[in-house]
Structure 1
Amino acid sequence: MNYFVVGTNNMKAATAFYDGLFDGLGVNKMVASERMTYWLADDFAFAVALPFDEKPATNGNGTMVGFNVGSPDAVDRVHQLALDLGAADEGAPCPKGPKYSGYVRDLDGNKICLSD
């Protein structure tokens, strides 16, 4: 995968949320324009964007983006951090298949998986 983009209705709030979520994970922010902000790592890019068609952003039913945060302890820590930043809990961290994962929804309702 090259990149993943989720929509937002509030760029300022979304940027603050992901700045906090990615703090300490080696992900660097790049503001591409007033309508799109990227966070770049060695092997992926993630962005939040105001929709091009200027209609309200909505979350996709069945859509989820996953971030590998490195270890079960990091999953626990980043899951709690996301909740502290205003995310909604979608599943406490626990073993899920071959991974240890926790789930949240960001401020716009986009589903995020945090795994080891």
Structure 2
Amino acid sequence: MLGYVTIGSNDMERSLAFYDAVFEPLGGKRMMNTGRGWIYGADRPCIGITTPYDEQTATAGNGSMTALAAPTRAMVDAVYAKAREMGAPCEGAPGVRGDNPDGFYGAYFRDPDGNKLCVFKFGPA
């Protein structure tokens, strides 16, 4: 049902460097230049990094988050480590969330513009 998500940027060069590095381990790459940014994906759904249409300052939404599915828990750890290496603030280190040790495993961080992201794996390692 989800088609794509867009994330606003105030510094496209910095954002593209961040997302190139963070999406690469997940198989994500630049797919389409929109003229105001880039659409990333490996297939569908996609994520667009763009300057706001109204040309106002891009701001992070309070309570909004984009979650990126990973094929393994090790990939969650690797993507989180890459994001932190790129300067992303921690919003929750990799680990199991909830009561089931074989359930949800995720890590949380923010991009250079403050947008919150999660990389996760449902199920055992």
How would you bin the TM-score normalised by the shorter chain?
over 0.9
Partner residue, 1:7: 8
Partner residue, 2:110: 105
Q: What is the alpha-carbon distance in structure 2 between the residues aligned to residue 58 and residue 29 of structure 1?
A: 22
- Any idea what SS the aligned residue of 1:24 has? helix
Partner residue, 1:40: 41
Unaligned runs of 5+ in 2: none
1:25, distance to aligned residue in structure 2 (A) = 2.2
Q: What is the alpha-carbon distance in structure 2 between the residues aligned to residue 41 and residue 110 of structure 1?
A: 21
Counterpart contact for 2:25–2:75, Cα < 8 Å: no
Partner residue, 1:25: 26
1:47, distance to aligned residue in structure 2 (A) = 0.8
Equivalent pairs, count = 116
1:30, distance to aligned residue in structure 2 (A) = 2.6
1:77, distance to aligned residue in structure 2 (A) = 0.9
TM-score by length of 2: 0.87
Percent sequence identity is 38
Q: Which amino acid aligns with 1:85?
A: M
Most deviating of 21-30 and 4-13:
21-30
- Any idea what SS the aligned residue of 1:23 has? helix
Whether 1:63 aligns to 2:64 is yes
Q: What is the alpha-carbon distance in structure 2 between the residues aligned to residue 24 and residue 65 of structure 1?
A: 17
TM-score by length of 1: 0.94
C-alpha root-mean-square deviation of aligned residues, in Å? 1.2
Most deviating of 30-39 and 44-53:
30-39
Unaligned runs of 5+ in 1: none
Q: Could you say which structure has the larger radius of gyration?
A: 2
